[in-house]
Amino acid sequence: MRIAIIAIAFLLSALASGCSEGGPQSLTAFADLYDAKGQKIGTAQLKEAKNGVEIRLSASHLPPGKHGYHIHETGKCEAPDFKSAGGHFNPEQKKHGEHNPEGHHAGDLTNLTVSEDGQVNDTQIAEHVTLEKNKAVSLLKAGGTALVIHEKEDDLKTDPAGNSGKRIACGVIEAKQ
């Protein structure tokens, strides 16, 4: 009986250590989002999850309505147009949009819905990316990546950006220290 208890304790300890410090699910990152005037309007917290990367966004001072929301390929957010962030994060060279029959970019996210007071709180899982460095789909790759909010709703099918219009907010994704 004593051996069984020790064995169970050892097994539980081993399982716990896989999800604690150093395990893939302990990886975290953040992005401070800025508007075209350089004003900080929000923050995103990113965390490695079992099925991708969980992104929790909290922002304000945005136009009400639906907005395209994507992970972009370069970790630069130069206002006012944020074109420095490059195109959508797309290491597998697919087409844009969840409804595109040819697949979708790893950086395609679901539209954001901003309330009448300009606030948005959103949580979603980006299933085709990771925070693990040295992986082809890592958001913490050399050169970085960025989160971008667009002026209009993403139609989720038109290449390259779902007809979502200008980029109105951007934040560089950075590893938490």
**Residue 17 scores a pLDDT above 50:** no
**Residue 61 annotated in active site:** no
Helix (H/G/I), strand (E/B), else coil: 27 = coil
Q: What is the mean pLDDT of residues 119-128?
A: 93
- Where are the domains positioned within the chain? 26-175
Q: Give the pLDDT score at 158.
A: 61
Which residue out of 67, 104, 128, 167 is catalytically annotated? Answer: 167
CATH number for the region 26-175 comes to 2.60.40.200
Which residue out of 96, 104, 128, 154 is catalytically annotated? Answer: 96
**Residue 88 annotated in active site:** yes
Which residue out of 35, 67, 104, 105 is catalytically annotated? Answer: 105
Question: b/e per residue, 66-95, with b = 16+ CB within 10 A?
Answer: ebbbbbbbbbbbeeeebebbbebbbbeebb
Indicate the pairing of strand 52-59 with strand 120-126: antiparallel
pLDDT grade, residue 171 (50/70/90)? very high
Residues 92-123 have pLDDT tens digits of 766 656 766 667 666 678 899 999 999 999 99
Q: Give the pLDDT score at 110.
A: 87
**Residue 72 annotated in active site:** yes
Backbone φ and ψ for 104, nearest 5 degrees, come out as -140, 160
Tokens 């004593």 label which residue?
A: 2
**Residue 11 scores a pLDDT above 70:** no
Is residue 152 within 8 A of residue 170, CB to CB? The reply is: no
Q: Give the pLDDT score at 150.
A: 93
* pTM flag (> 0.75): yes
**DSSP one-letter code for 2:** H
Which residue out of 67, 88, 104, 128 is catalytically annotated? Answer: 88
- Cα dist from 16 to 11, 12, 48, whole Å: 9, 6, 16
pLDDT grade, residue 159 (50/70/90)? low
Q: What is the mean pLDDT of the chain?
A: 81
**Residue 15 scores a pLDDT above 50:** no
DSSP per position, 124-159: EEETT-BS-TTSTTBTT-TT--EEEEESS---SSST
Tally DSSP H helices, then E strands, for the chain. 1, 10
**Residue 67 annotated in active site:** no
**Residue 150 annotated in active site:** yes
> CA end-to-end span of the chain, whole Å?
44
pLDDT grade, residue 176 (50/70/90)? confident
Q: Give the pLDDT score at 108.
A: 75
**Residue 105 annotated in active site:** yes
pLDDT grade, residue 139 (50/70/90)? very high
Is residue 97 within 8 A of residue 80, CB to CB? The reply is: no
C-alpha span between 114 and 38 (Å, rounded): 20
- Cα dist from 64 to 6, 40, 110, 166, whole Å: 58, 18, 16, 15
Q: What is the mean pLDDT of residues 59-86?
A: 94
Which residue out of 72, 104, 128, 154 is catalytically annotated? Answer: 72
Which residue out of 70, 104, 128, 154 is catalytically annotated? Answer: 70
